[in-house]
Structure 1
């Protein structure tokens, strides 16, 4: 099969058949980097980034392609040049660069990008070049530049982090997580946006932020406000909380679950405690909970407190926690 720019665009937009994807990935890994780069540039000049629906499909394709099969040790020193595409990296990173607006290839040709993934059961603190501090939770991937050289500061996240953003009125700070974007000038907030958790949540501890999705482009949050966005229904829910008492797992302070389904809660607990948890009853998994744990509770203590009504049966088998409905 001859690989043309039209076929590559279809690959970005997830329109290819499985057989075509295999051929394209083979082409990307086997051809000279300069040839890939030239095709890449030509595609960039043609595609309009305003199409959010297609951009989201491309991002989902990137997530699927780059989802680690095993936990990877974070390598803060890992740097990738946009112009330098290793053969295997080309397969994984072209969709990401596409969604990112291609990182303004010509202007930022010498920009180095760091790519870290925090293993389950661990945390990491990053200090960016502008002085912004990111407290990164377990199972989270962050891609960020070594230096912010343009008129905005943008990073890409899949997971959860607490951001203490350095103030810079001339350069808004943007966190992109698929179809969700959080824009600030200088503030403190927690973002939960794991790709396999249905609910995206932003809790604002200080300042103000602009929360944007394709269906809700202008949601402004102020201190003590929380917003939850359901990626399936595309509905949002707002709530308030005591900002001075807010605790988050990314800073190893505890958990703040506000009207979240059990499915989402156990996924976060899985990452934090590095323990597999399986819910065998879908109805139970859809049940929502409001719960706060800020006293260093163990996993067993958290699950026990969530089960105060006795509706769950919680057992362990070969290191895996199984949750099902309790017998009547």
Structure 2
């Protein structure tokens, strides 16, 4: 076991900055070395370092432990049986240290205090024709010249030839060697389908996370006095600071200007408004001649259409970026809004029969479950009834 590598992965997981490949690597280490006392010591070390950031120090259940080790998003095409007994001896030793890493990113926990039923000594996770598994890491890249490449099918180190330039696929991102005239004028579009998500890094070091059904168009090399990108759907940004080159995000009629910060933008075409939530730093919102500055914890709401009004309100940051952290977060959310998010993530249609349910949803639920399990959990809240017909969710009051 490479101690420094394990420490890097554990710290990155708790800080939510691992790529999906690194999460898989950590999962494999925890499965193969689960009975190694050194792993427990390293987890204790990371737990001690980040104890002050933990909101809930309660001991997670063995179901939580298994959920993180067997993340359905990364192993959607595998059929596997997980023997709970093989984890228990290690679990009791590591549970305290694992709490900070697992709480909030695993099996659903509802504010109503609903307890999960005991599923017996074994949990069987299968993919069948009837099962609808959650989204996974997948995206396409439209290269200069129009060629479309499926990133999830590319092998590490693959070279992509363009007219007068060569690109490399490394660590889930497209990299360039130097900058010639062709590269300086070249833009590319990264796009996720419904049922997909993707994380990459731009040439300036800015990290971006795309939710399902989203896109970002950006230059391969930022060479002007502004770093400008255009998005659709929902994208989270962690912008590399550069006071000499402001970072500008265009979302329909709205532009967001920053120097270095992290924020979330939701701008799906079917939604009536664009929502920008600031996590840290500062941003300037602009639509037409209207300009407003945001502070951390604030969300700007820009209605689409002729109005240039920008409404600013204080929101729960956790709710805005829950999708990036692997779960759905519902706070008095109407059924239609919640089902839009679920439909995009599982790439399914939603149909309503009879009157719309008037009770909002409250609570959090993992995006790692297959759709039937997720709907069963939602039914426990009493907000609505759900049935599945092939790739269609039927919602009834």
TM-score (norm: length of structure 1):
0.58
Q: Is the 8 A contact 1:261 1:288 kept in 2?
A: yes
**Correspondent of 1:153 among 202, 224, 227:** 227
**Correspondent of 1:214 among 277, 283, 288:** 288
**How far is the alpha carbon of 1:301 from its aligned partner?**
6.0
Are 2:340 and 1:275 equivalent residues in the alignment? no
Residue pairs, 1:153-192, within 5 angstroms: 153-192=227-266
**Correspondent of 1:121 among 180, 195, 198:** 195
Partners of 1:77 and 1:233 in 2: CA distance: 32
Q: Is the 8 A contact 2:194 2:345 kept in 1?
A: yes
Relative distance call for 1:222 and 1:210 in structure 2 (3 A) is same
Q: Which protein is richer in helix relative to its size?
A: 1
Partner of 1:139: 213
- What residue ranges of structure 2 are gaps of 5+ in the alignment? 1-137, 147-180
Residue pairs, 1:1-328, within 5 angstroms: 74-76=139-141, 78-80=143-145, 110-214=184-288, 217-231=290-304, 234=307, 236-243=310-317, 245=318, 248=321, 250-257=323-330, 261-280=334-353, 284=356, 289=360, 291-293=362-364, 295-296=366-367, 298=369, 299=371, 310=382, 312-324=384-396, 326=397
Relative distance call for 1:187 and 1:143 in structure 2 (3 A) is same
**How far is the alpha carbon of 1:306 from its aligned partner?**
6.0
TM-score (norm: length of structure 2):
0.49
- What residue ranges of structure 1 are gaps of 5+ in the alignment? 1-72, 82-106
Classify the secondary structure of the residue corresponding to 1:266.
helix
**How far is the alpha carbon of 1:311 from its aligned partner?**
5.6
**How far is the alpha carbon of 1:302 from its aligned partner?**
5.5
Q: What RMSD over aligned residues (CA atoms) do the two structures have, in Å?
A: 3.3
Classify the secondary structure of the residue corresponding to 1:279.
strand
Partner of 1:49: none
Larger of the two Rg values belongs to structure: 2
Higher relative contact order structure (alpha carbons within 8 Å, sequence separation ≥ 6): 2
Q: Is the 8 A contact 2:263 2:280 kept in 1?
A: yes
Q: How many positions carry a matched residue from both structures?
A: 224
Q: Is the 8 A contact 2:183 2:220 kept in 1?
A: no
Partners of 2:305 and 2:359 in 1: CA distance: 16
Partners of 1:247 and 1:300 in 2: CA distance: 25
Relative distance call for 1:295 and 1:127 in structure 2 (3 A) is same
**How far is the alpha carbon of 1:199 from its aligned partner?**
3.1
